Structure 1
Protein backbone atom coordinates (compact mmCIF):
# COMPACT_ATOMS: atom_id res chain seq x y z
CA UNK A 1 0.00 0.00 0.00
CA UNK A 2 3.05 2.28 0.34
CA UNK A 3 6.17 2.48 -1.82
CA UNK A 4 8.89 5.11 -1.37
CA UNK A 5 11.53 5.13 -4.11
CA UNK A 6 14.88 6.96 -4.11
CA UNK A 7 13.61 9.84 -1.96
CA UNK A 8 16.22 12.57 -1.46
CA UNK A 9 15.64 15.70 0.62
CA UNK A 10 18.16 18.38 1.53
CA UNK A 11 17.98 21.41 3.78
CA UNK A 12 20.17 23.94 2.03
CA UNK A 13 23.44 22.13 1.39
CA UNK A 14 22.79 19.51 4.08
CA UNK A 15 21.27 16.20 2.91
CA UNK A 16 18.49 14.92 5.20
CA UNK A 17 17.50 11.81 3.21
CA UNK A 18 19.53 10.17 0.45
CA UNK A 19 17.84 7.75 -1.96
CA UNK A 20 15.53 6.52 0.79
CA UNK A 21 13.63 3.35 -0.17
CA UNK A 22 10.75 1.69 1.67
CA UNK A 23 7.84 -0.63 0.84
CA UNK A 24 5.07 -1.87 3.10
CA UNK A 25 1.89 -3.92 2.61
CA UNK A 26 -1.53 -3.16 4.08
CA UNK A 27 -1.77 -3.93 7.78
CA UNK A 28 1.95 -3.87 8.57
CA UNK A 29 3.38 -1.75 11.40
CA UNK A 30 6.88 -0.46 10.68
CA UNK A 31 9.16 1.37 13.09
CA UNK A 32 11.92 3.70 11.90
CA UNK A 33 14.48 3.89 14.68
CA UNK A 34 16.99 6.72 14.78
CA UNK A 35 18.54 9.51 16.79
CA UNK A 36 17.50 13.15 16.61
CA UNK A 37 18.50 14.61 13.25
CA UNK A 38 18.65 11.25 11.46
CA UNK A 39 15.79 12.22 9.11
CA UNK A 40 13.01 10.04 10.49
CA UNK A 41 10.41 12.82 10.91
CA UNK A 42 11.25 14.06 7.40
CA UNK A 43 10.23 10.63 6.07
CA UNK A 44 6.79 11.02 7.64
CA UNK A 45 6.39 14.59 6.40
CA UNK A 46 7.19 13.54 2.82
CA UNK A 47 4.72 10.63 2.95
CA UNK A 48 2.04 12.90 4.45
CA UNK A 49 2.55 15.60 1.80
CA UNK A 50 3.94 18.18 4.20
CA UNK A 51 7.43 18.07 2.68
CA UNK A 52 8.46 18.08 -0.96
CA UNK A 53 11.77 16.66 -2.14
CA UNK A 54 14.66 17.17 -4.51
CA UNK A 55 13.97 13.79 -6.12
CA UNK A 56 12.15 10.52 -5.62
CA UNK A 57 8.63 9.13 -5.56
CA UNK A 58 5.96 8.21 -3.03
CA UNK A 59 3.16 5.84 -4.10
CA UNK A 60 0.04 5.21 -2.00
CA UNK A 61 -2.23 2.38 -3.13
CA UNK A 62 -0.41 2.39 -6.49
CA UNK A 63 -1.10 6.10 -7.06
CA UNK A 64 1.90 8.43 -7.30
CA UNK A 65 1.39 11.23 -4.76
CA UNK A 66 4.96 12.59 -4.96
CA UNK A 67 6.83 12.24 -8.25
CA UNK A 68 10.22 13.64 -9.23
CA UNK A 69 10.21 15.51 -5.93
CA UNK A 70 6.92 17.32 -6.64
CA UNK A 71 3.81 16.90 -4.45
CA UNK A 72 0.95 15.83 -6.73
CA UNK A 73 -1.71 15.08 -4.09
CA UNK A 74 -2.37 17.45 -1.14
CA UNK A 75 -2.15 16.09 2.44
CA UNK A 76 -5.90 16.12 3.07
CA UNK A 77 -6.54 13.86 0.07
CA UNK A 78 -3.99 11.15 0.87
CA UNK A 79 -6.11 9.16 3.33
CA UNK A 80 -3.44 9.39 6.02
CA UNK A 81 -3.86 9.95 9.78
CA UNK A 82 -1.15 11.47 11.97
CA UNK A 83 -0.42 11.26 15.70
CA UNK A 84 2.10 13.76 17.02
CA UNK A 85 4.54 13.90 19.92
CA UNK A 86 2.61 16.73 21.61
CA UNK A 87 -0.81 15.15 20.78
CA UNK A 88 -1.88 18.37 18.94
CA UNK A 89 -5.41 18.18 20.36
CA UNK A 90 -7.56 21.28 19.96
CA UNK A 91 -7.66 22.72 23.52
CA UNK A 92 -10.97 24.56 23.06
CA UNK A 93 -12.76 21.42 21.86
CA UNK A 94 -14.14 18.52 23.87
CA UNK A 95 -12.93 14.96 23.38
CA UNK A 96 -15.99 14.33 21.22
CA UNK A 97 -15.30 17.37 19.04
CA UNK A 98 -11.63 16.45 18.67
CA UNK A 99 -12.36 12.86 17.63
CA UNK A 100 -15.12 13.79 15.16
CA UNK A 101 -13.24 16.76 13.68
CA UNK A 102 -12.15 14.80 10.59
CA UNK A 103 -15.60 13.31 9.96
CA UNK A 104 -17.64 16.51 10.20
CA UNK A 105 -19.25 15.73 6.84
CA UNK A 106 -20.68 12.45 8.17
CA UNK A 107 -24.25 12.41 9.51
CA UNK A 108 -24.71 13.07 13.23
CA UNK A 109 -25.72 9.45 13.77
CA UNK A 110 -22.64 8.17 11.92
CA UNK A 111 -20.42 10.50 13.91
CA UNK A 112 -21.93 9.35 17.21
CA UNK A 113 -21.60 5.68 16.31
CA UNK A 114 -17.97 6.11 15.26
CA UNK A 115 -17.20 8.14 18.42
CA UNK A 116 -18.68 5.44 20.67
CA UNK A 117 -16.82 2.71 18.75
CA UNK A 118 -13.49 4.53 19.02
CA UNK A 119 -13.82 5.35 22.72
CA UNK A 120 -14.36 1.65 23.39
CA UNK A 121 -11.46 0.75 21.08
CA UNK A 122 -8.96 3.04 22.85
CA UNK A 123 -10.35 2.10 26.28
CA UNK A 124 -11.76 5.45 27.34
CA UNK A 125 -15.10 5.74 29.21
CA UNK A 126 -17.96 7.07 27.11
CA UNK A 127 -18.57 9.89 29.58
CA UNK A 128 -15.08 11.23 28.86
CA UNK A 129 -16.43 12.56 25.53
CA UNK A 130 -17.56 15.73 27.28
CA UNK A 131 -14.17 16.54 28.82
CA UNK A 132 -11.54 18.92 27.50
CA UNK A 133 -7.89 17.97 26.81
CA UNK A 134 -6.57 19.80 29.90
CA UNK A 135 -8.75 17.56 32.07
CA UNK A 136 -7.02 14.40 30.81
CA UNK A 137 -3.75 12.67 31.69
CA UNK A 138 -1.00 12.39 29.08
CA UNK A 139 -1.91 8.79 28.34
CA UNK A 140 -5.59 9.68 27.94
CA UNK A 141 -4.71 12.55 25.58
CA UNK A 142 -2.66 10.17 23.47
CA UNK A 143 -5.60 7.76 23.24
CA UNK A 144 -7.82 10.64 22.07
CA UNK A 145 -5.19 11.64 19.49
CA UNK A 146 -5.13 8.08 18.13
CA UNK A 147 -8.94 7.92 18.05
CA UNK A 148 -9.05 11.22 16.12
CA UNK A 149 -6.52 9.91 13.59
CA UNK A 150 -8.50 6.67 13.13
CA UNK A 151 -11.93 8.31 12.87
CA UNK A 152 -12.02 8.76 9.05
CA UNK A 153 -10.81 5.16 8.57
CA UNK A 154 -7.45 5.99 6.94
CA UNK A 155 -5.36 3.29 5.32
CA UNK A 156 -2.15 4.57 6.92
CA UNK A 157 -1.32 6.15 10.29
CA UNK A 158 1.93 8.06 10.85
CA UNK A 159 3.16 8.15 14.46
CA UNK A 160 5.74 10.86 15.14
CA UNK A 161 7.43 10.06 18.50
CA UNK A 162 3.94 9.85 20.09
CA UNK A 163 5.06 8.32 23.41
CA UNK A 164 8.23 10.28 24.15
CA UNK A 165 6.65 12.67 26.67
CA UNK A 166 5.30 9.81 28.80
CA UNK A 167 7.23 8.08 31.59
CA UNK A 168 8.16 4.42 31.05
CA UNK A 169 5.48 3.08 33.42
CA UNK A 170 2.81 4.67 31.20
CA UNK A 171 4.60 4.49 27.85
CA UNK A 172 5.18 0.78 27.27
CA UNK A 173 1.69 -0.47 28.26
CA UNK A 174 0.22 2.25 26.01
CA UNK A 175 2.48 1.17 23.12
CA UNK A 176 1.06 -2.36 23.36
CA UNK A 177 -2.50 -1.03 23.59
CA UNK A 178 -2.02 1.16 20.52
CA UNK A 179 -0.57 -1.77 18.57
CA UNK A 180 -3.64 -3.82 19.46
CA UNK A 181 -5.93 -0.99 18.30
CA UNK A 182 -4.10 -0.59 14.99
CA UNK A 183 -4.16 -4.34 14.33
CA UNK A 184 -7.85 -4.59 15.14
CA UNK A 185 -8.58 -1.78 12.67
CA UNK A 186 -6.33 -3.34 10.01
CA UNK A 187 -4.47 -0.07 9.58
CA UNK A 188 -0.90 0.21 8.33
CA UNK A 189 1.33 2.39 10.52
CA UNK A 190 4.79 3.90 10.57
CA UNK A 191 6.25 4.75 13.97
CA UNK A 192 9.34 6.94 14.23
CA UNK A 193 11.15 6.74 17.55
CA UNK A 194 14.57 6.85 19.22
CA UNK A 195 13.54 4.17 21.75
CA UNK A 196 14.51 0.59 20.72
CA UNK A 197 12.15 -1.03 23.23
CA UNK A 198 9.23 1.04 21.98
CA UNK A 199 10.03 0.00 18.41
CA UNK A 200 10.25 -3.70 19.34
CA UNK A 201 6.93 -3.63 21.21
CA UNK A 202 5.04 -1.83 18.45
CA UNK A 203 6.44 -2.98 15.12
CA UNK A 204 6.38 -5.97 12.81
CA UNK A 205 9.59 -4.66 11.23
CA UNK A 206 12.24 -2.15 12.31
CA UNK A 207 14.52 -0.05 10.11
CA UNK A 208 17.59 1.66 11.57
CA UNK A 209 17.96 5.12 10.02
CA UNK A 210 21.37 6.75 10.11
CA UNK A 211 22.33 9.92 8.23
CA UNK A 212 19.26 9.69 5.98
CA UNK A 213 19.75 6.06 4.96
CA UNK A 214 18.18 2.85 6.31
CA UNK A 215 21.17 0.75 7.35
CA UNK A 216 19.22 -2.48 7.84
CA UNK A 217 15.71 -3.89 8.34
CA UNK A 218 14.92 -6.33 11.14
CA UNK A 219 11.83 -8.53 10.78
CA UNK A 220 10.21 -9.16 14.17
CA UNK A 221 6.91 -10.88 13.41
Structure 2
Protein backbone atom coordinates (compact mmCIF):
# COMPACT_ATOMS: atom_id res chain seq x y z
CA UNK A 1 0.00 0.00 0.00
CA UNK A 2 1.13 3.50 -0.79
CA UNK A 3 1.75 5.76 2.16
CA UNK A 4 -0.48 8.80 2.35
CA UNK A 5 1.51 11.96 1.73
CA UNK A 6 1.10 14.81 4.21
CA UNK A 7 0.13 18.12 2.56
CA UNK A 8 2.93 20.65 2.51
CA UNK A 9 0.90 23.27 4.37
CA UNK A 10 0.44 20.86 7.28
CA UNK A 11 4.17 20.29 7.42
CA UNK A 12 4.80 24.04 7.45
CA UNK A 13 2.30 24.60 10.26
CA UNK A 14 3.93 21.82 12.27
CA UNK A 15 7.34 23.42 11.93
CA UNK A 16 6.01 26.85 12.92
CA UNK A 17 4.28 25.36 15.96
CA UNK A 18 7.42 23.49 17.02
CA UNK A 19 9.42 26.73 16.91
CA UNK A 20 7.20 28.41 19.55
CA UNK A 21 4.49 26.07 20.90
CA UNK A 22 3.55 28.35 23.82
CA UNK A 23 2.82 31.26 21.49
CA UNK A 24 0.57 29.18 19.25
CA UNK A 25 -1.24 27.63 22.19
CA UNK A 26 -1.96 31.17 23.41
CA UNK A 27 -3.25 32.17 19.95
CA UNK A 28 -5.49 29.11 19.78
CA UNK A 29 -6.87 29.73 23.27
CA UNK A 30 -7.47 33.43 22.54
CA UNK A 31 -9.28 32.58 19.31
CA UNK A 32 -11.48 30.10 21.16
CA UNK A 33 -12.36 32.69 23.81
CA UNK A 34 -13.15 35.24 21.09
CA UNK A 35 -15.49 32.79 19.37
CA UNK A 36 -17.27 32.07 22.65
CA UNK A 37 -17.66 35.80 23.43
CA UNK A 38 -18.99 36.56 19.94
CA UNK A 39 -21.49 33.71 20.25
CA UNK A 40 -22.64 35.04 23.61
CA UNK A 41 -23.02 38.57 22.25
CA UNK A 42 -25.09 37.32 19.32
CA UNK A 43 -27.33 35.47 21.76
CA UNK A 44 -27.62 38.47 24.11
CA UNK A 45 -28.39 40.91 21.28
CA UNK A 46 -31.02 38.58 19.87
CA UNK A 47 -32.60 38.13 23.28
CA UNK A 48 -32.56 41.88 23.95
CA UNK A 49 -34.19 42.61 20.61
CA UNK A 50 -37.02 40.17 21.28
CA UNK A 51 -37.65 41.35 24.83
CA UNK A 52 -37.30 45.04 23.97
CA UNK A 53 -39.74 44.75 21.06
CA UNK A 54 -42.41 43.31 23.34
CA UNK A 55 -41.83 45.90 26.07
CA UNK A 56 -41.65 48.71 23.51
CA UNK A 57 -45.05 47.71 22.12
CA UNK A 58 -46.48 47.93 25.65
CA UNK A 59 -45.05 51.44 25.93
CA UNK A 60 -46.67 52.53 22.68
CA UNK A 61 -49.98 51.10 23.85
CA UNK A 62 -49.75 53.01 27.14
CA UNK A 63 -48.80 56.22 25.32
CA UNK A 64 -51.66 55.95 22.83
CA UNK A 65 -54.11 55.45 25.71
CA UNK A 66 -52.86 58.47 27.63
CA UNK A 67 -51.24 56.40 30.37
CA UNK A 68 -48.18 58.63 30.42
CA UNK A 69 -46.68 57.49 33.77
CA UNK A 70 -46.60 53.88 32.59
CA UNK A 71 -45.22 54.92 29.21
CA UNK A 72 -42.40 56.85 30.89
CA UNK A 73 -41.47 53.83 33.03
CA UNK A 74 -41.45 51.48 30.05
CA UNK A 75 -39.48 53.67 27.66
CA UNK A 76 -36.96 54.57 30.36
CA UNK A 77 -36.48 50.86 31.04
CA UNK A 78 -35.80 50.24 27.35
CA UNK A 79 -33.32 53.13 27.30
CA UNK A 80 -31.37 51.89 30.31
CA UNK A 81 -31.67 48.10 30.17
CA UNK A 82 -31.84 47.31 26.46
CA UNK A 83 -29.03 49.34 24.95
CA UNK A 84 -28.28 46.66 22.33
CA UNK A 85 -31.88 46.21 21.27
CA UNK A 86 -31.88 48.60 18.33
CA UNK A 87 -34.85 50.58 19.70
CA UNK A 88 -33.01 52.61 22.34
CA UNK A 89 -33.10 55.80 20.27
CA UNK A 90 -36.80 55.40 19.53
CA UNK A 91 -37.38 54.92 23.26
CA UNK A 92 -35.71 58.30 23.89
CA UNK A 93 -38.17 59.99 21.53
CA UNK A 94 -41.28 58.35 22.97
CA UNK A 95 -40.09 58.88 26.53
CA UNK A 96 -39.96 62.58 25.68
CA UNK A 97 -43.49 62.40 24.24
CA UNK A 98 -44.78 60.75 27.42
CA UNK A 99 -43.17 63.45 29.56
CA UNK A 100 -44.79 66.09 27.37
CA UNK A 101 -48.12 64.45 28.14
CA UNK A 102 -47.30 64.77 31.84
CA UNK A 103 -46.53 68.49 31.30
CA UNK A 104 -42.89 67.95 32.25
CA UNK A 105 -41.81 70.16 29.39
CA UNK A 106 -38.21 70.82 30.40
CA UNK A 107 -37.52 67.09 30.74
CA UNK A 108 -39.27 66.41 27.44
CA UNK A 109 -37.23 69.07 25.65
CA UNK A 110 -33.97 67.66 27.02
CA UNK A 111 -34.87 64.21 25.73
CA UNK A 112 -35.91 65.51 22.32
CA UNK A 113 -32.53 67.22 22.03
CA UNK A 114 -30.83 64.01 23.14
CA UNK A 115 -32.75 62.20 20.41
CA UNK A 116 -31.54 64.70 17.81
CA UNK A 117 -27.96 63.88 18.81
CA UNK A 118 -28.53 60.31 17.59
CA UNK A 119 -28.76 61.61 13.98
CA UNK A 120 -32.25 60.31 13.18
CA UNK A 121 -33.85 60.36 9.74
CA UNK A 122 -34.75 63.92 8.59
CA UNK A 123 -38.52 63.51 9.01
CA UNK A 124 -38.12 62.15 12.53
CA UNK A 125 -35.65 64.92 13.34
CA UNK A 126 -38.18 67.46 12.06
CA UNK A 127 -40.85 65.99 14.35
CA UNK A 128 -38.48 66.28 17.31
CA UNK A 129 -37.81 69.93 16.44
CA UNK A 130 -41.55 70.54 16.16
CA UNK A 131 -42.04 69.06 19.61
CA UNK A 132 -39.17 71.11 21.05
CA UNK A 133 -40.96 74.20 19.82
CA UNK A 134 -44.14 72.96 21.50
CA UNK A 135 -42.22 72.50 24.76
CA UNK A 136 -41.00 76.09 24.49
CA UNK A 137 -44.57 77.26 23.88
CA UNK A 138 -46.02 75.36 26.80
CA UNK A 139 -43.26 76.71 29.03
CA UNK A 140 -44.32 80.25 28.11
CA UNK A 141 -41.32 81.01 25.91
CA UNK A 142 -43.12 82.28 22.81
CA UNK A 143 -40.03 83.95 21.36
CA UNK A 144 -37.96 80.79 21.83
CA UNK A 145 -40.67 78.65 20.26
CA UNK A 146 -40.98 80.96 17.26
CA UNK A 147 -37.22 80.92 16.74
CA UNK A 148 -37.19 77.12 16.98
CA UNK A 149 -39.96 76.76 14.40
CA UNK A 150 -38.33 79.19 11.96
CA UNK A 151 -34.93 77.55 12.21
CA UNK A 152 -36.39 74.06 11.81
CA UNK A 153 -38.61 75.18 8.90
CA UNK A 154 -35.51 76.36 7.07
CA UNK A 155 -33.53 73.23 7.89
CA UNK A 156 -36.28 70.75 7.01
CA UNK A 157 -37.91 72.55 4.10
CA UNK A 158 -38.40 69.27 2.22
CA UNK A 159 -40.00 67.45 5.13
CA UNK A 160 -43.67 66.51 5.08
CA UNK A 161 -43.89 68.58 8.28
CA UNK A 162 -42.81 71.83 6.59
CA UNK A 163 -46.41 73.08 6.43
CA UNK A 164 -46.95 72.20 10.07
CA UNK A 165 -44.02 74.52 10.83
CA UNK A 166 -45.64 77.19 8.64
CA UNK A 167 -48.87 77.03 10.63
CA UNK A 168 -46.97 77.27 13.92
CA UNK A 169 -44.92 80.23 12.68
CA UNK A 170 -48.00 82.03 11.38
CA UNK A 171 -49.92 81.49 14.61
CA UNK A 172 -47.09 82.71 16.85
CA UNK A 173 -46.30 85.61 14.51
CA UNK A 174 -49.92 86.67 14.87
CA UNK A 175 -49.72 86.35 18.66
CA UNK A 176 -46.71 88.69 18.86
CA UNK A 177 -48.26 91.24 16.49
CA UNK A 178 -46.39 90.34 13.30
CA UNK A 179 -49.54 90.34 11.20
CA UNK A 180 -47.71 90.69 7.90
CA UNK A 181 -45.84 87.40 8.32
CA UNK A 182 -49.02 85.66 9.46
CA UNK A 183 -50.93 86.98 6.43
CA UNK A 184 -48.25 85.90 3.98
CA UNK A 185 -48.05 82.37 5.34
CA UNK A 186 -51.80 81.84 5.57
CA UNK A 187 -52.32 83.25 2.07
CA UNK A 188 -49.72 80.86 0.69
CA UNK A 189 -51.17 77.87 2.50
CA UNK A 190 -54.67 78.74 1.34
CA UNK A 191 -53.62 77.99 -2.22
CA UNK A 192 -52.29 74.58 -1.21
CA UNK A 193 -53.82 71.54 -2.84
CA UNK A 194 -54.00 69.62 0.45
CA UNK A 195 -57.40 70.29 1.95
CA UNK A 196 -56.26 70.17 5.58
CA UNK A 197 -53.76 73.01 5.30
CA UNK A 198 -56.07 74.99 3.04
CA UNK A 199 -58.92 74.95 5.55
CA UNK A 200 -56.64 75.74 8.49
CA UNK A 201 -55.13 78.67 6.61
CA UNK A 202 -58.48 80.00 5.37
CA UNK A 203 -60.01 80.27 8.84
CA UNK A 204 -56.93 81.78 10.45
CA UNK A 205 -56.26 84.23 7.62
CA UNK A 206 -59.69 85.77 8.10
CA UNK A 207 -58.93 86.41 11.76
CA UNK A 208 -55.65 88.08 10.84
CA UNK A 209 -57.29 90.26 8.20
CA UNK A 210 -59.82 91.53 10.73
CA UNK A 211 -57.05 92.96 12.91
CA UNK A 212 -54.57 93.91 10.18
CA UNK A 213 -54.28 97.52 8.97
CA UNK A 214 -56.24 98.17 5.77
CA UNK A 215 -53.15 98.97 3.70
CA UNK A 216 -51.58 95.68 4.81
CA UNK A 217 -54.70 93.77 3.76
CA UNK A 218 -54.69 95.51 0.40
CA UNK A 219 -51.05 94.66 -0.21
CA UNK A 220 -51.62 91.03 0.75
CA UNK A 221 -54.67 90.71 -1.51
CA UNK A 222 -52.86 92.28 -4.45
CA UNK A 223 -49.96 89.87 -4.05
CA UNK A 224 -52.18 86.81 -4.41
Q: TM-score, with normalisation over the residues of structure 1?
A: 0.26
TM-score normalised by length of structure 2: 0.25
Which structure has the highest strand share of the two?
A: 1
Query: Which one has the bigger helix percentage?
Result: 2
Q: Which protein has greater RCO, CA pairs closer than 8 Å, 6+ apart?
A: 1
Larger radius of gyration: 2
